[in-house]
Amino acid sequence: MGPSLNKLLEIAGAPFAGDIDCSTDAFDHFGEIGVSIRDVLAKKNGFFCFESALRFFPSVTVEASWGLGEWNSPDLWKTDYLGLADNIFCFAEDIFGRQFAVCEGKIGIFEIETGDFDIVALSLQEWASMLLLDYNQMTGFRLAHEWQVRHGPLHPRHRLMARTPFVLGGEYSLTNLVALDSLQLMKNLGNLARQIHALPDGSRIEFKVGQAPKPD
């Protein structure tokens, strides 16, 4: 394991879950990145970092976090994206719920408001290096910190959702953010991502959710 991954583990919080079976082959079909994810989980099985702005999912679901298997299930939140998220394996997320994911041997960011996937790294070590160099941009740390100073620690299962989505011109400001259960956030934004992909540029988009989110 490279120095950036070791540093990330060093500054991360306590593990979410107990030890995993290091002999498991569950990650082998993701190649070297899968091996690196397994190595990280063997040392710290899921964790928060940068004041909860980054969540690295544990191998199993626990009270504080969804586990990798359930989170990547096609029947959880991915069904709301109607195929846009079918080919990615999400292993971490930022404060806004953007997913860090593996696809075709590369690591990218799955933009949950649009369904776009943007490649950012070719290895988990490179991804960790990028985080350490610019954790504010990569994880939303500043707003995560400011929100928690004002409202208190974020519930472990919550992320921050923009009341007016960023892709629709919403501001990166505390007044535009609300804490919401991460699963509900993903399902809400799946609705938006489907509209953006289905309509031509310049079309009118209506953002609807099942229930208006309320601040904690």
Give CA–CA dist 184/192, Å, rounded.
13
The SS3 of residue 149 is helix
Task: Identify the weakest region by mean pLDDT among 22-36, 139-153, 159-173.
Answer: 22-36
Q: Is the pLDDT of residue 24 over 90?
A: no
Residue 42 lies in a domain: yes
Q: Is the pLDDT of residue 128 over 90?
A: yes
Please state, rounded to an integer, the average pLDDT across all residues of the chain: 89
Residue 72 lies in a domain: yes
Kind and range of the H or E element at 42? helix 31-43
Of 116 and 209, which is predicted with more confidence? 116
**Range(s) of the domain holding residue 54:** 3-198
Q: Whole-model pTM?
A: 0.90
Report the pLDDT value the prediction gives residue 27, as an integer from 0 to 100. Answer: 74
Residue 34 lies in a domain: yes
Residue 124 lies in a domain: yes
- Tens of pLDDT, residue by residue over 49-83, are 999 999 999 999 999 999 999 999 999 999 999 98
Q: Burial code of 119-141, b = ≥16 C-beta within 10 A, e = fewer? A: eebebbbbbbbbbbeebeebbbb
pLDDT confidence tier of residue 39, bands split at 50, 70 and 90: very high
Total number of domains constituting the chain: 1
Residue 206 lies in a domain: no
Q: Is the pLDDT of residue 204 over 70?
A: no
Q: Is the pLDDT of residue 213 over 80?
A: no
Residue 213 lies in a domain: no
Tokens of 154: 């974020």
pLDDT confidence tier of residue 212, bands split at 50, 70 and 90: very low
Residue 175 lies in a domain: yes
Q: Is the pLDDT of residue 210 over 80?
A: no
φ, ψ for residue 118 (rounded to 5)? Answer: -115, 120
Over pLDDT 70: what percentage of the chain? 88
Give CA–CA dist 145/152, Å, rounded.
10
Give CA–CA dist 38/210, Å, rounded.
36
Residue 122 lies in a domain: yes
Give CA–CA dist 101/91, Å, rounded.
6
Give CA–CA dist 31/76, Å, rounded.
25
